[in-house]
């Protein structure tokens, strides 16, 4: 197990290095950030001065060398837009993203998993149809649209919830549902199909033949085994929620990492995009590793 984890860590570092090269080059082919930081009629001198301040007048290898040496010291550079250290910005946004992602994940699991189980147990009946409609809506309605509808209804029409921002639990309700719905739908569908597969397996049939109560068959024998793929998906989804809740965070003016990434892309803020993508990549690597370890805990047959 220890050897496996060390091997995986080595692969992860190689992946992150490749990611750093890729993101460094990709952001630079998207255009000149200097032109977005001044009025269109600004002078050549002003544009040139901005490029010099950001080091964009240097050759690409020099820029990459400077980027990677700073990175090794834990310095992700200064944001072009904010003019403050990127890591400081990222860390100030991360708690908001974790809070939103956590709430959205709780919503998606609390709604998605029971609905999926009921849909599988009552397959092709009324409950299953309700679940299918729920999943269809969640997957097909864009989250920005859901968000705007919720703002109009709960905030403007009913006046129950604040339309945007952060700070209280009430601020969290709408963004968490808007973000969590699509994931709830995905979790519901996967739970349903996984449960259906497990419910048709030999050991579940045996459990039933033994005369075990149906509730016990479902909860102990079927659900526990059906949970593995759902857990894998939830782990990856949590990382996605933290890092790319771009649309929801923008609609609700939620100060998270997704909005930071969106602004970084919009303003060609290379250091912000590089840091956000790299830290997001690191998060995916770590979560994947943790999920693999959790497999072993859940399923005793899995050994490394």
> Does position 45 bind other proteins by CB under 8 A?
yes
Length of the chain equals: 304
Considering only residues 33, 112, 258, 281, which one is a binding residue for other proteins as defined by CB under 8 A?
33
Note whether 276 and 87 are within 8 A (CB): no
Question: Which range in 104-112, 115-123, 160-168, 220-228 contacts other proteins by CB under 8 A?
Answer: 160-168
Measuring CA to CA, how many Å separate 109 from each of 46, 94, 130, 219, 238? Answer: 52, 22, 17, 16, 11
Q: Are 275 and 90 in contact (CB under 8 A)?
A: yes
263 binds other proteins (CB under 8 A): yes
Any residues with CB less than 8 A from the CB of 264 and at least 6 apart, and which? Answer: 79, 81, 270, 272, 273, 276
Per-residue x/- mask for other proteins, residues 167 to 206, rule CB under 8 A?
A: ----------------------------------------
Q: How far is the CB of 179 from other proteins (least distance, A)?
A: 15
Interface of this chain with other proteins, residues 72 to 101, rule: CB under 8 A: 81-84, 89, 92-93
**Mask of contacts with other proteins, 264-293, x by CB under 8 A?**
----x-------------------------
Q: With binding defined as CB under 8 A, does residue 163 bind other proteins?
A: yes
Q: Which is nearer to other proteins, 128 or 249 (CB)?
A: 249
> Could you say whether residue 260 binds other proteins (CB under 8 A)?
yes
* Nearest-angstrom CA–CA distance, 67 and 77: 7
Beta strands (DSSP E) in the chain are: none
Sign of the CA dihedral running 276, 279, 282, 284: negative
Residues between 238 and 257 that touch other proteins (CB under 8 A): 250-253, 255
236 binds other proteins (CB under 8 A): no
| Contact pick of 19, 50, 103, 278 for other proteins (by CB under 8 A) | 50
In terms of Cα–Cα distance, which of 164, 232, 157 is closest to 194?
Answer: 232
Q: Phi and psi for 145 in degrees, rounded to 5?
A: -70, -45
Distant-in-sequence, close-in-space partners of 142: CB < 8 Å, separation ≥ 6? 247
Nearer of residues 189 and 268 to other proteins, judged by Cβ: 268
Between 54 and 134, name the residue whose CB sits nearer to other proteins.
54
Alpha-carbon distances of 46 from 58, 68, 69, 125, rounded to whole Å: 17, 28, 29, 68
Of 47 and 231, the one with the shorter C-beta distance to other proteins is 47
Residue 38 binds to other proteins (criterion: CB under 8 A): yes
Q: Min. distance of Cβ 85 from other proteins in angstroms?
A: 8
Q: Report phi then psi at 86, rounded to 5.
A: -65, -40
* Closer of 33 and 138 to other proteins (Cβ): 33
Which residues are at the interface with other proteins (CB under 8 A)?
30-33, 35-50, 53, 81-84, 89, 92-93, 148, 151-152, 155-156, 159, 162-166, 250-253, 255, 259-260, 263, 268
């Amino acid at each position: 197990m220890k050897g496996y984890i060390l091997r995986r860590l080595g692969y992860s570092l190689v992946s992150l290095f490749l990611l750093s090269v890729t993101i460094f080059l990709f952001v630079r082919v998207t255009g000149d950030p200097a032109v977005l930081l001044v009025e269109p009629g600004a002078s050549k001198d002003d544009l040139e001065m901005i490029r010099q301040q950001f080091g964009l007048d240097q050759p690409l290898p020099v820029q990459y060398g400077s980027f990677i040496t700073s990175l090794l010291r834990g310095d992700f550079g200064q944001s072009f837009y904010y003019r403050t250290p990127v890591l400081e910005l990222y860390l100030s946004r991360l708690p908001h993203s974790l809070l939103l992602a956590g709430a959205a994940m709780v919503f998606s699991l609390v709604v998605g998993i029971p609905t999926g189980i009921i849909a599988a147990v009552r397959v092709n009946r009324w409950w299953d149809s309700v679940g299918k409609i729920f999943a269809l809506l969640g997957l097909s309605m864009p989250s920005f649209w859901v968000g705007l509808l919720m703002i109009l209804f709960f905030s403007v029409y009913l006046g129950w919830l604040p339309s945007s921002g952060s700070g209280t639990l009430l601020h969290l309700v709408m963004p968490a549902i808007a973000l969590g719905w699509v994931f709830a739908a995905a979790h519901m569908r996967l739970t349903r199909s996984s449960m259906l597969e497990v419910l048709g397996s030999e050991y579940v049939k045996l459990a039933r033949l033994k005369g075990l109560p149906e509730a016990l068959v479902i909860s102990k024998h079927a659900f526990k085994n059906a949970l593995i793929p759902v857990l894998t998906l939830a782990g990856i989804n949590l990382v996605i929620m933290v890092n790319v809740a771009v649309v929801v965070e923008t609609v609700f003016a939620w100060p998270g990492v997704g909005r930071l990434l969106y602004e970084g892309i919009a303003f060609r803020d290379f250091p912000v995009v590089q840091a956000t993508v790299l830290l997001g990549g690191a998060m995916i690597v770590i979560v994947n590793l943790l999920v693999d370890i959790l497999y072993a805990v859940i399923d005793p047959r899995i050994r490394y």
